[in-house]
Amino acid sequence: MEIRVNKPFDPARLLADLRIIYGDTLHATRSFAVAAVAVGAGGAILLLALSGMSGLVVVLLALAVYGVYLGFGNSRSLQRAVSDLPEICQHEALLIVTEDRIIQEQPSIRSEILWTAITRVVETDAGWLLFYGPRQAISLPREGMDHEQELQFRAHLTAPASVAA
């Protein structure tokens, strides 16, 4: 098997992939952020209404502001990570999927990942994320494949020895 797929550099697609890769962290941070805003703002309102303790109200409002910062900060840091990618990474890539490895070639970079290193495969709307670490994945776009290649790739994924998961 040899499947060749052209993968254009697409910042929006990369950002969507990063949101999937970091989904658990983003969810936990957003949950904490919502709790911080609720406790901070709610506590400040209750304290002002019931006791007028303005010193503690400032601390609670600071907690609420920190929650807002956290809630928007992670998403912005992912966007910044994409926009700050060096020029060397912002080129179209050729992905070559073979029986034993996935090869990604760009003008200045070439990487090879053995299928035995792939620990998990996540299918997305746009293709597949092939994880070879907890936060490391290679994205294989569906749009660059014809129907026969997609069937061949799916068959390889279901083969007993293809993914080490």
Residue 133 belongs to domain with CATH number: 2.30.29
Q: How many domains does the chain have?
A: 2
More confident residue, 25 or 160: 25
What is the per-residue pLDDT for 162? 58
Do 63 and 104 lie in one domain? The reply is no
**Same domain, yes or no: 142 and 93:** yes
Q: Give the per-residue pLDDT at 58.
A: 87
pLDDT in tens, 43-56: 888 888 887 667 78
The reply to whether 36 and 71 lie within a common domain is yes
Q: CB within 8 A of 56, min separation 6: which ones?
A: 47
| Single residue among 31, 63, 83 that ends a domain in this structure | 83
74 and 40 within one domain: yes
Q: Are residues 27 and 69 in the same domain?
A: yes
Shared domain check, 149 and 101: yes
Mean pLDDT of 139-153: 91
The b/e string for 98-129 (b: 16+ C-beta within 10 A; e otherwise) is eeeebbbebeeeeeebebebbeeeeeeebbbb
Residues 74 and 23 in one domain: yes
Based on the fold, state whether residues 94 and 74 are members of the same structural domain. no
Give CA–CA dist 22/4, Å, rounded: 28
Q: Are residues 103 and 130 in the same domain?
A: yes
Residues 116 and 140 in one domain: yes
Share of the chain above pLDDT 90, in %: 64
pLDDT digits (tens, 9 = 90+) for 92-104: 999 999 999 999 9
Q: What is the mean pLDDT of residues 144-165?
A: 81
Domain residues for 117? 2-10+88-158
Q: Work out the average pLDDT over 50-64.
A: 83
Q: Does residue 78 share a domain with residue 33? A: yes
Picking from 39, 58, 83, the residue at the C-terminal end of a domain is 83
Judgement on whether residues 79 and 92 belong to the same structural domain of the protein: no
Over 80: is that where the pLDDT of 135 sits? yes
pTM of the predicted structure, to 2 decimals? 0.77
